[in-house]
């Protein structure tokens, strides 16, 4: 697939800048922003509409796949807040369900906080910043801190659970590849977003119809082999659901929250486990961290 036109990249940057100014809406406001003059919101809406139909992108506007990819772009100075509800058919007649929510900074030092609830197990909360990891143990109201060299991120490893027979499962990902390395241009470690981007940038993705899906006017995007399916909002191109299908079963990930927040003094506490539990005991103890991790994640 060809790279995005320069006009699309510039326009996308303008959209991202506009989005950071509005915390009251979960979906980004897709309006053009012009630094050379003061434009009323009504005029911005008109200009954006004209641009979409009459030539800001030149004679060849961006494809649906390109628009879906642009919607997942991040810029520095923001927090990406994502919540997904997942279901997996494990291939052995059992089903696993979970909810995963994360807040991630797009600027150094890339703070991250994640809350997981898997099946009937306890809710777990963990965070990281640089080489430091934090883990909240609700049973003792303690935040454990461990500082060690960072380990490679493996796609799908953040989610784990067991079925009724005690068998451990993880999200099905195609090929079990490690996640692409974190870059300044894409510092987010949310593995499923990166799997989606890999699909959209592969050259194999294409539109496969429009439908009403999860209360949205949606567009279906699929890979050539049919193993990956991605649903986006037809107006905003924000993610709705991502499905994978493998030889051992299939997984669906519903994006119940996908929003970008400005990184400010008031939003930074969202990234910190310690800030979310101000009354908790804080222990800088690697052995205690490992013991708490073993209790909270007994199956790895």
For residue 270, give the 3-state DSSP assignment: helix
Backbone angles phi, psi at 183, to 5 degrees: -125, 160
Query: What does pLDDT average to in each consecutive run of 10 residues of the chain (300 residues)?
Result: 42 43 36 36 37 42 91 91 90 85 92 89 89 92 84 42 42 42 56 84 92 92 92 95 84 92 96 96 93 80
Give me 288's structure tokens.
């205690």
Distance between CA 119 and CA 95 in Å, rounded? Answer: 10
- Among 233, 271, 234, 235, residue whose Cα is nearest residue 254: 233
What's the pLDDT score for residue 149? 59
pLDDT at 191: 65
Give the orientation angle of helix 191-200 with respect to helix 64-71, to 10 degrees: 160
DSSP 171-226: ---GGGPBPPPPBTTB----HHHHHHHHHHTSS--EEEEEEEETTEEEEEEE-TTS
How much is the pLDDT for 217?
Answer: 94
Amino acid 250: pLDDT: 86
CA 12 to each of CA 32, 87, 105, 162: distance values in angstroms, whole numbers, following the listed order: 9, 32, 19, 41
The strand pairing partners of 294, in sequence order, are none
101 neighbors 115 (Cβ within 8 angstroms): yes
Cβ–Cβ < 8 Å for 218, 240: yes
Ordered by where they begin, the domains of the chain are 6-62 (no CATH), 78-296 (2.50.20)
């Amino acid at each position: 697939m060809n790279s995005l036109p320069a006009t699309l990249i510039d326009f996308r940057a303008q959209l991202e800048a506009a989005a950071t100014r509005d915390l009251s809406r979960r979906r980004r406001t897709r309006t053009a922003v012009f630094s050379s003059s003061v434009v009323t919101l009504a005029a911005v809406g008109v200009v954006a509409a004209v641009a979409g139909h009459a030539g800001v992108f030149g004679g060849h506007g961006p494809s649906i796949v390109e628009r879906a990819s642009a919607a997942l772009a991040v810029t520095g100075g923001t927090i990406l807040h994502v919540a997904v509800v997942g279901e997996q058919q494990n291939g052995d007649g059992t089903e696993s369900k979970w909810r995963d929510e994360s807040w991630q900074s797009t600027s150094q030092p890339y703070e991250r906080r994640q809350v997981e609830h898997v099946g009937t197990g306890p809710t777990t909360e963990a965070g990281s910043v640089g080489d430091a990891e934090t883990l909240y143990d609700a049973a003792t109201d303690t935040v454990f801190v461990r500082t060690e060299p960072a380990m490679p991120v493996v796609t799908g490893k953040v989610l784990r659970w067991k079925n009724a027979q005690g068998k451990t499962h993880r999200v099905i990902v195609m090929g079990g590849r490690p996640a692409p390395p974190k870059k300044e241009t894409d510092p987010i470690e949310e593995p499923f977003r990166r799997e989606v981007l890999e699909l959209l940038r592969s050259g194999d993705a294409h539109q496969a119809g429009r439908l009403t899906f999860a209360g949205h006017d949606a567009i279906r995007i699929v890979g050539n082999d049919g193993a990956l399916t991605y649903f986006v909002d037809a107006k905003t191109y924000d993610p709705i659901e991502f499905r994978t299908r493998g030889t051992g079963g299939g997984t669906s990930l519903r994006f119940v929250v996908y929003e970008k927040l400005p990184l400010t003094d008031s939003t930074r506490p969202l990234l910190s486990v310690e800030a979310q539990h101000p009354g908790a005991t804080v222990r800088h103890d690697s052995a205690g961290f490992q013991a708490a991790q073993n209790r909270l994640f007994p199956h790895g």
